[in-house]
Structure 1
């Protein structure tokens, strides 16, 4: 089975036959121990340090459908190398565009995406409420805002409702997380440890959604809740709203409450909080373990991984756009 690899150190990527060779290189130019990876076992490469690779290498990666996702020093997602869009289909492109251009078609779909995200946020809070965490006020606020979704008449209005729901949701992080305070949500830049983890985790979730979209006929640049824009894959933003509570937030709660990450795993630089390299590795491993975790899918009647669950969501959306089956977002039951 193919897997993702995380390259935290700067280095050089080369090829020998059908094997990738990553050689870490430190600031003085000294080479470390090379690591060899058979290309047929690689799904994605996540690069957090500078990567030295030539066009022949990217041709090789493209032919083997290996995606490379890049992050800067501050954990910001900066872009991806993706092989040519080998599954794109004209009919899907046309129907996806029609849905975006028609308010009558787009608005109900955008409502459904917000409803799915709100449900999963509420489900997270109910899970911790059952374990003695006082999140009653946040749950009540989320439920009140959720009632407004059905009467929203514009996508911008839905985005505002979703923002209010998420603000109420983040207010519950304080009672849930031990030993850390989140305060207000701060993104650019994140001001404390919890905000830094949220920003980092959300970017990881975005790349997972983008990668799974790539393996379907959907066009990642045409979206329904978020506005399509230059140089961004806005459909991945749409889908990540549903999965952030499940993949990102549950991972954050786990690594902090189990003390896998502590205050000394972060550092303050200028006006921002950043993860140390060791913290990035711990969180990335926990996130990857979450993606590999399986559960019994209630509709399929078999076990699927959380990573595959994202692809199934893409398939459901595809069927909706083609008029085959009404889209219903994934909703957590636990």
Structure 2
């Protein structure tokens, strides 16, 4: 269990929530693990929950506490709220900001600058850890990304920002193969999608999809409309806001994880299937294995750069969306994008 930003995240699947007087009680295996007064809570998020008493539902509904249920993998299932909800106010503010070119651009610049920054840090870590392999191409890419990071804030419109983001992604992936210490079947010549044409791209695409799902669940949990973004254009069926927020998390969350899988030999070329229609994809057994490793990764602790508190990696998307909601509502003066140090 973790209480952050007045929201209780219940990540233990054996936890049961009940009510005692004016307090929420979390029990695990029949023993009290935590007790919090309801008036200190704005929301409760349960991952793979065991159960929740009707008295807790009633207390949350009466006191305006959002109660959200997600499966163990982080997929949004449902949200329970009373008759009075602030979500309509949040969504109105979201729609206004999305329609305001200046406000939308300001947020988009933060998403992109954080994305480029985190990609640059990934490359710099490689140069630090393997100085013998740090060639001029890697150093040039780091220098270029630094320029793109700073340049994001001087762009005059969304199209210019998209061009800058595309250039930065190209420079980053042009040297991405330098991060891979295992070359047996894991050669990487560039990013390919729909379908992925090699095992590295297959892993990147698979876990980008996982991250997108988690961020979309976070948007639903907080009360955003996941399909209305600030950087990605509206498109039917696309969770544009989730794609916006996940930009800053791609390199830190997914790319490092994929590189780790390969370098630790936790996947091999034989784990992948290929066809003309689907491209290269993970086989069923390998998918189950890497998903288990993904869940382990989400349990690791990281120091949140804005909250200055250690949190599970898997909660970072939820915290970023919650911080974004506070900014959109006007509770924060600026949106603190996730900046990896």
> Which TM-score bucket, shorter chain as reference?
0.7 to 0.9
Count residues with an aligned counterpart.
271
1:216 pairs with 2:214: no
Q: Distance in 2 between matches of 1:222 and 1:163?
A: 21
Structure 2 unpaired stretches of 5+: 1-9, 14-46, 52-66
Could you say what secondary structure the match of 1:215 adopts? helix
Q: CA RMSD in A?
A: 2.6
1:264 match: 270
Say which SS state the counterpart of residue 120 (structure 2) adopts: helix
- Report 1:1-334 matches (<5 A): 1-2=10-11, 40-41=49-50, 65-66=69-70, 82-83=77-78, 86=81, 89-132=87-130, 133-134=133-134, 135-177=138-180, 178-179=182-183, 180-270=186-276, 272-325=279-332, 326-333=334-341
Shift of 1:150: 2.1
What SS does structure 2 have at the residue aligned with 1:295? strand
Residues 277 and 146 of structure 1, relative CA distance in 2, 3 Å threshold? same
Q: So what's the TM-score if we normalise by structure 2?
A: 0.73
> Per the alignment, in what secondary structure is the counterpart of residue 192 of structure 2?
coil
* Contact kept in structure 2, 1:296 and 1:303, CA below 8 Å: yes
* Structure 2 SS opposite 1:226: coil
Separation in 2 of the partners of 1:41 and 1:258?
34
Using structure 1 for the length normalisation, give the TM-score: 0.74
Instruction: Give the superposition deviation at 1:107.
Output: 0.9
Q: d(CA) in 2 for partners of 1:155 and 1:269?
A: 37
Contact 1:248 1:287 in 2 (8 A): no
SS of 2:49's equivalent?
helix
1:121, 1:245 within 8 Å by CA — same for their partners in 2? yes
Q: CA deviation at 1:105?
A: 1.1
Q: Cα deviations across residues 170-211 of structure 1 (Å, max 9, x unaligned)?
A: 122211112121112110111101011111010011011111
Distance 1:242 1:114 in 2: 7
What SS does the corresponding residue of 1:232 show, helix, strand or coil? coil
CA distance in 2, matches of 1:105, 1:208: 25
